[in-house]
Amino acid sequence: MNTTSPLERVLRGIAITLVILFFMFPIFWIVLMSFQTNATILQVPPSIFFEPTLQNYRGLITGQLVTDTSSLEIKFMGNLFNSLFLSTTSVAVGLVLGVPAAYAFARLKFRGSEDIAFTLLSFRFAPPLLVLLPLTIYFQQLGLANTYGGLIWVYQLIVLPLILWIVRGYFEDIPADIEYAYRIAGHRWWTTFRKIALPLAGPGIAAAALLAFIFAWNNFIFALVLASADKQPVTVGALAFITASGVQYGQIAAGIILSIAPTFALALYAQRYLVEGLSLGAVKG
Amino acid sequence: MTVLLKLAGVDKFYGPIGQGVHAVQNIDMDVMKGEIIALLGSSGCGKTSTLRMIAGFEETSRGTISLAGREVQTLPPVRRNVAMAFEGYSLYPTVTVGENIAFALKAAKLPAAEVDAKVKEVTEMLEITDILHRYPTSVSGGQQQRASLARALIRDADLHLLDEPMGQLEPQLRTLLRGRIKHYIKERGLTAILVTHDQTEANALADRIAVMEGGVLQQFATPQTIKEAPANLFTGTFVGEPPMNVFSAQASDGGGQLQLDLGDGVHLNYASDAFAPEVRATLLARKDIMLGVRPYAVQRDTAGAEAQVIANQWLGDQSHIAATFARGTIVLVEHDRADVAVGDAIRVRLAPEDLHVFDKDTGAALSHGTHLA
């Protein structure tokens, strides 16, 4: 039974269109900017008609930042690789550590379990700058400064609480009896964890991994302080676009497009599974 | 007959031992091989906790559980060799109903032909052959429940635990399946413990019933014994439909007769030889007692005590009459249509052989009929 009137449907359509325009326009504009030179970008009034150029992308990929007055080296592709490597590895490590921990917090009630879980969550409360200064000193002493390993370790502050708390909720939603039924049919808890708990919490784990990936990808401050140019991700590398001869808007736009591409692709790919997981209703008693 | 399962001094605390919720209190129970046992009680009485301790899903706080000759209370579920049907069905959502049922057999690497034959047998018995290829979420609650039951019954385990196995089934189907399940279990010589709050189910299926309340095992006996000789006031009033009528009374010696004063001017007089001498002595010694009588045992008799009818319901095959009597209400069951109306005065007789007498303070049974409990 459809109770919405035609007028309501039209109004709803208009409202949705407006919201989409509002949120998508900046991205649309960035896409346009990425195909322009600084000269056409900065003209007043702005125009959506221009002669497209690929020089921004070419510059990023070849590593030659050409400005009106000079030409300098830029390591954007290196930064992009760093972002990919750091985010992927951090999430992988976060999953290996976080998923079994989330299972333990969901299923086993042990002394102090809530306190430990809360402590892990509290990593998200403290402003990163607060921990960065002591961390910098530790890292220098330990030889972890400006290493991938050190960065991945620090990135656990971002990904581990996220994965732990999201996945824990999914594990708690699986009726324990399903696992008991599996265990009593002759399986150890480790098999049960792999064959029953993991697949049923799969959509939740995917959602947590995606979210953790995005958070790791967008991180700026840790890598800014703890790594030098050759280990820095795009978020930090983008600072190079602010040059002595002005801000390179075209290249920034192209850089943005290139750096959101992986997360965008990942989200599109994972979306199918996320929606599937949410609508399957597989874990109802 | 050999003892298959032995619970000795089993305690369950939720929380620290001695401080937490004492859900199961010092239970001793022997289950013989081939027996069907029902754990009967209301919600929160500890019956499911007991079942789960036997299965190994709940830690046993104190006491020992021996199954097939070995102590199992510290073993993980996988090493206890028990099968269980869960109240919430707990079918694996990712595989079909048929695969759910065959799961344990396949895991135990039984030949495919044997698995198929067993699946066919148990699913025909439970009338779910038509849903084997479907997924658990796409079939009804009743079908899921039967699938869960099939998954447990198909296994060749030492002990089968059935938690509210028929709660979701329609009454007709339930009656039919009860008979078939009992036959299935007996034919194979399986031992089963079922948890239920439905006394009809317990009576129909079980060889012995364990009545539980407040974490305490109240009585563990055959359905007939529980009906005829309830161990205490709780069992007496909990088992039986409609429930037993209970009145507080004072016993006194009225010139050779035993007189029971129920209050509000109701005196019941019994001849000196109506009860065995030791019963009579006990009642007179206790003075304050609780008197119970089953509704179907209450007789209408012109020489009886007066009661005022407050309701008369004809259920199609029996009449339930409620009447104010002494300080409370008495319920009578008659098999014919009773021609009494609300407000009528009737006279009821409580025959000595139908009286159950309980201690007023402890609730323990003192006598059943004319003999001591």
> How far is residue B102's CA from residue A226's CA, in Å, rounded to a whole number?
56
Q: Binning pLDDT at 50, 70 and 90, where does residue A1 land? A: low
Which pLDDT belongs to residue A244? Answer: 72
| Residue A165 reports pLDDT greater than 50 | yes
| Listed residues B207, B230, B253: the one ending a domain | B230
How many Cα atoms within 13 Å fall on the side-chain side of residue A173? 20
Share of chain A above pLDDT 70, in %: 92
Domain hosting B185: range is 3-230
Are B75 and B208 members of one domain?
A: yes
Specify if B111 maps to a domain.
yes
Give the CATH number for residue B36. 3.40.50.300
Helix (H) or strand (E) holding A65: strand A64-66
Specify if B235 maps to a domain.
no
| Residue A65 reports pLDDT greater than 80 | no
Dihedral (CA of A179, A182, A188, A192) sign: negative
Which pLDDT belongs to residue A275? Answer: 66
| Listed residues B173, B201, B230: the one ending a domain | B230
Q: Binning pLDDT at 50, 70 and 90, where does residue A273 land? A: low
DSSP β-ladder status, B159-163 and B82-85:
parallel
Are B274 and B182 members of one domain?
A: no
Share of chain B above pLDDT 70, in %: 100
Chain-centroid distance of CA B145 in Å reads: 21
Amino acid of residue B101: I
For each of chain B's 373 residues, which pLDDT tens digit applies?
A: 799 999 999 999 998 888 889 999 999 999 999 999 999 999 889 999 999 999 999 999 999 999 999 999 999 988 899 999 998 889 988 889 999 999 889 888 899 999 999 999 999 999 999 999 999 989 999 999 999 999 999 999 999 999 999 988 999 999 999 999 999 999 999 999 999 999 999 999 999 999 999 999 999 999 999 999 999 999 999 999 899 999 999 999 888 889 999 988 898 999 888 888 899 999 999 889 999 999 999 999 988 999 999 999 999 999 999 999 999 999 999 999 988 999 999 999 999 999 999 999 999 999 998 888 8
CB-based contact, A111 to chain B, within 8 Å: no
Q: Of B248, B149, B251, B165, nearest to B201 (Cα)?
A: B165
Helix B171-187 with B141-153: angle, nearest 10 deg: 10
User: A3-7, A68-72, B56-60: which has the minimum mean pLDDT?
Assistant: A68-72
Q: Binning pLDDT at 50, 70 and 90, where does residue A282 land? A: very low
| Residue A128 reports pLDDT greater than 90 | no
Dihedral (CA of A104, A105, A107, A112) sign: positive
CB-based contact, A75 to chain B, within 8 Å: no
Give the CATH number for residue B281. 2.40.50.140
Specify if B12 maps to a domain.
yes
**Chain A stretch 191-210, residues whose beta carbon is closer than 8 A to a beta carbon of chain B:** 196, 199-200
* Residues ≥6 apart with Cβ < 8 Å to A76: A60, A61, A63, A234, A237, A240, A255, A258
Specify if B129 maps to a domain.
yes
Which pLDDT belongs to residue A285? Answer: 36
Q: Which residue of A has its CA nearest to B105?
A: A185
Are B225 and B319 members of one domain?
A: no
- Sheet strands side by side (includes B328-334): B328-334, B319-325, B299-314, B345-349
Give the total number of structural domains in chain B. Answer: 2
Are B217 and B312 members of one domain?
A: no
CB distance B84–A180 less than 8 Å? Answer: yes
> How far is residue A50's CA from residue A35's CA, in Å, rounded to a whole number?
9
> How far is residue A168's CA from residue A186's CA, in Å, rounded to a whole number?
25
CB-based contact, A283 to chain B, within 8 Å: yes
Q: Which residues of A touch B84 (CB under 8 A)?
A: 180-181, 184
Are B259 and B324 members of one domain?
A: yes
CB distance A181–B92 less than 8 Å? Answer: yes
Identify whether the C-beta of residue B186 lies closer than 8 Å to the C-beta of residue B178.
no
| Residue A278 reports pLDDT greater than 60 | no
Specify if B239 maps to a domain.
no
Q: How many residues does chain A have?
A: 285
pLDDT tens-digit series, residues B74-92:
999 888 999 999 988 899 8
Which pLDDT belongs to residue B151? Answer: 94
Please tell me the CATH code under which domain A76-280 is placed.
Answer: 1.10.3720.10
CB distance B84–A175 less than 8 Å? Answer: no
Identify whether the C-beta of residue A191 lies closer than 8 Å to the C-beta of residue B78.
no
Specify if B23 maps to a domain.
yes
Which pLDDT belongs to residue B104? Answer: 87
Q: Binning pLDDT at 50, 70 and 90, where does residue A284 land? A: very low
Specify if B163 maps to a domain.
yes
Q: Which residue of B has its CA nearest to A185?
A: B104
pLDDT tens-digit series, residues B117-134:
999 999 999 999 999 999
**Chain B stretch 1-60, residues whose beta carbon is closer than 8 A to a beta carbon of chain A:** 55-57
Specify if B240 maps to a domain.
no
